[in-house]
Structure 1
Amino acid sequence: MSAPGAAPVAVRWPARLWIALLVFSGVILLDGLENSMIAVSLPEIQRELGMSAATAQWLMGAYILAFGGFLLLGGRFADLFGRRRVLVVAMTVFAFLSLLGVFADDAALLIVSRFVKGMAAAFTAPAAMSLLTTTFPEGPQRNKAFGIFNVFEACGYSCGLLVGGLLAALDWRATFVLPIPIAVLVLAGALLVLPPDPPRAGRARLDLGGAVTLVAGMLLLVYTVTTAADAGWTSPWTIGGFALAGLLLLAFVIIERTVEQPLIRLGILRGRTLVTANLSAALLYGGAMGFQFLLALYLQNLNGWQPWQMALVLLPAGLMVVLAGPRLGALIDRYGVRKVLIAGLVAFVPAYLLMLRMGPEPDLWTVLLPASLLWGVGFALSISALMVAGTSGVADHEQGLASGLLTSSLQVGGAFGLAVVTAAIVPGTRLDQLYPGVAVILVLAVLTLLVQLPRSRTSPASKG
């Protein structure tokens, strides 16, 4: 990687590499669409299928639970059994389940399909990200690729809110139709331009005990975090859930330390850059999910705005990522990944401070849009930088694991931050009850900075 301050290196790719990057980016675009479109479609689905509010929430919860629970296993599968193969198989399952959702008339079947779809996404996401890191060499090329990759993630979420709201107004089933052609294009591109997986030196063997304890522990952890606000943080169910999840993950660690061919090499966690990148990702996403939740409560619940109107408020944030993403590689090459990351993390603090100025009537020009712009700057700079930091220096045969770790940190951190914010604002039916939630996301933003600041002064790796 070029040293900070050096002139940016021009990166020119042939058409094949651009198509490959579009394939990887299409995967993350689908993930963003899935999370945002279903959120704005819930009322219509609930009404047509006669679901209770608690049951309807599992249309989102089932996907998030499976996605967070299977990510680490999905990343390791990509390393062991071939990234292209895992991507193609999992994307085929994803497309089929989208088609199933179009015709489903039973609430239970729809929820189960969402769970399996989340499982499929847990295999496609780390496979795509590790394919990116092994296709584009560390340095200017990978930095540029990650910048473009994250543009698609931002577009998926931002457009999903707006497009999902419009499609749901016509027919909620249209929100299940839209991912199908995108998934088919991703599949076609993967089969056409991605080279076959290289043969492995020996036969890949799955550490079954490690896989079972890891998936069970992660599923229980994500489930406990996402239900803690409703069940109560001190309830026996929550305490028992965390305890059992901890025991399962401890059993996983013991198995990995003793088995001949571990599912995950625990030594990868000794890399300080990787650990701090994952911790920062969890804290950052926790604050970000909390911010979106508070904004939704403020605009939709307290002021009666429609989801598409909230999407327009967040549009400047998405535009910042779209505009900055393709230039992120050059910024990282010139200033170093750590400086770009710190600049992004700093931007979240004033964005969240502005939320303390929420009044009875939404102030679009001096509160909401400035907060959205700052939030977008933070995301534009920090997410790509975290992906670069979290995968740098990792051997090619463990890139799937590193990608799965980073994505898992984002998902679990987001669920945990959302649960803490929800607990802080219960019952959250008045404006003044939202301010403790703002205090929570501010604390998370400051903690994210504190994790990174010592490294920015002491680590030689911070320059790359």
Structure 2
Amino acid sequence: MTGRERLVLAVLLTASFTLAVDFSVLNVALPAIGADVGFSLANLQWVATSFALCAAGFTLLFGRVADLVGRRRLFLIGIALLGLSSLLGGLATTPAMLIVARVAQGLATAAVTPAALSLLTTSFPQGPRRERALGLNGALMAAGFTTGAILGGVLTDLLSWRWAFYLNVAVALVVLVVAPAVLTESRPARRARLDVPGAMTVTLGLLAVVYGLTAAGQMSWGAPGAYCPLLVGLALLGLFVLIETRVADPMVPIRILARRTVAWGNVAGLLAFVTETSLVFLLTLYLQKVLGYSPLAAGLAFAVLGAGTVLGGFAAPRVIGAIGARRAIVVGLVVQGAATTPLIFLGQQPGWIYLLLVATFVGGVANLVAIVAFMVTATTGLPDDEQGLAAGLATMSQQVGITLGIPVMSAVVAAQIHLSGARGPSAMLHGVSTAITVNAALCLVAAGLVAVFLRRTTTANA
């Protein structure tokens, strides 16, 4: 890479890492936030839910907007919004102020993430350099999710949860100073009109689906507050597909979704994020509820997983170069499933932590190989004027996957505990083991789907 390309990569990776940290940095700090700001226990989950709703619900819309108004411009606007919203969050003294800040942070994430990914794919030509850049991007995003859990505990214990917001302000200021000098504007030669009906239906549909998934994790899948939003969301997404077949400038041209690389690449990415992020949740339950770890100690235990994800991000371009992106997805998911399987047999004795550390390290490496291969697959073979849309689709798969995994696995754990009728660490262990079994099976199912449906194709017939 040239010196300028390294600067471009540094700016974009810094932004992506910071946004990934925001997904998990406040989870450990929620009790302290509730006590300081005045949240009731029942409403405390909205600190995380309001962020996830906007980050996942608006990402496809902003991915398309990036193509229309300019990716560099949207990136800078999003970073500025991230800085301002983080400052508001750090200064928040009421629940309303904090929720407004988290909503704005979610919108900033939905704007910056697809803009940064499309800037990355258009800044590096298709081939080894782009694969290396995507590998680093995937490694830092996955490491950021793990780092957030650790950093949240450290900041809350040593300083204050408010520093989780103030650090974003500092990062935003640095990026806003450097980015205008190194990033060049990127937009299609022809500006299509924004598909307003499509934008409204897909955004409202994603918001409803993500809200329903989150509510299912808080209540149950049979609660009206969970399945009603899910049904409404699915109906709106169905209407969105119908609209896209009829408008002159569709937000998501159906011909793009007809590409197997785009469609099945995003399915693989969705399931890769579903399995790994939900596994972190399940193992957090195991460490705290079964082995009795503190939140900080549980967070530190995932440092090994974080190291695995970073190594996987560096290794992914080499793996893709050796066997191709499709096979890299399959191999990554198979190895991830194989590494997850031994965790089904975790017990209540302290010594099981060593198996957990080894398995999560191997699984982290494999998961990142699959994630980087998915990003390469889903953005390869498309012209520059569709890179924002491809990045939006890939980002949507990522963020919906992060949101989807936890409520699904939480429901499996709760159902298993309810069926057993028992309570205490042994019941929790049984529920977690059942959910880990489902998690490992999903890895293998995803690998099978990719192997069957994502056959090697050329750009012309993809």
Q: Same fold (TM over 0.5)?
A: yes
Which residue number in structure 2 is paired with residue 435 of structure 1?
Answer: 433
2:210 aligned with 1:212, yes or no? no
Determine helix, strand or coil for the equivalent of 1:426.
Answer: helix
Picking from 118, 135, 149, the partner of 2:137 is 149
Paired residues for 1:271-420 under 5 Å: 271-364=259-352, 366-420=354-408
Task: Decide whether the 8 Å contact of 1:320 with 1:376 is kept in 2.
Answer: yes
Which residue number in structure 2 is paired with residue 459 of structure 1?
Answer: 456
Deviation of 1:366 (Å)? 4.1
2:157 aligned with 1:175, yes or no? no
Distance 1:295 1:442, change over 3 A: same
C-alpha separation in 1, matches of 2:361 and 2:143:
15
Paired residues for 1:63-212 under 5 Å: 63-169=51-157, 170-197=159-186, 200-202=189-191, 204-212=192-200
C-alpha separation in 1, matches of 2:84 and 2:457:
47
C-alpha separation in 2, matches of 1:461 and 1:356:
40
- What's the CA shift string for 1:200-221, capped at 9, x where partnerless? 445x532222211111111001
C-alpha separation in 2, matches of 1:339 and 1:454:
11
Task: Decide whether the 8 Å contact of 2:37 with 2:92 is kept in 1.
Answer: no
Task: Decide whether the 8 Å contact of 1:350 with 1:374 is kept in 2.
Answer: no
Q: Identity across aligned pairs (percent)?
A: 35
C-alpha separation in 2, matches of 1:20 and 1:174:
27
Distance 1:460 1:249, change over 3 A: closer
Deviation of 1:147 (Å)? 1.2
Greater relative contact order (Cα < 8 A, sep 6+) = 1
Deviation of 1:351 (Å)? 2.3
2:446 aligned with 1:448, yes or no? yes
C-alpha separation in 2, matches of 1:199 and 1:401:
11
Q: 5+ unaligned residues in a row in structure 1: which ranges?
A: 1-12
C-alpha separation in 1, matches of 2:200 and 2:258:
24
Task: Decide whether the 8 Å contact of 1:290 with 1:437 is kept in 2.
Answer: no
**Superposition CA RMSD, Å:** 2.0
The letter of the residue matching 1:451 is L
Picking from 206, 230, 236, the partner of 1:242 is 230
Task: Decide whether the 8 Å contact of 1:20 with 1:189 is kept in 2.
Answer: no
Distance 1:461 1:312, change over 3 A: farther
**TM-score of the superposed pair, with normalisation by structure 1:** 0.92
Task: Decide whether the 8 Å contact of 1:144 with 1:327 is kept in 2.
Answer: no
The letter of the residue matching 2:432 is L
Which residue number in structure 2 is paired with residue 44 of structure 1?
Answer: 32
The letter of the residue matching 2:180 is L
Task: Decide whether the 8 Å contact of 2:329 with 2:447 is kept in 1.
Answer: no
C-alpha separation in 2, matches of 1:54 and 1:226:
14
C-alpha separation in 1, matches of 2:188 and 2:137:
28
C-alpha separation in 2, matches of 1:229 and 1:156:
23
Q: 5+ unaligned residues in a row in structure 2: which ranges?
A: 418-423
Task: Decide whether the 8 Å contact of 2:134 with 2:372 is kept in 1.
Answer: yes
Task: Decide whether the 8 Å contact of 1:32 with 1:154 is kept in 2.
Answer: yes
The letter of the residue matching 1:314 is F
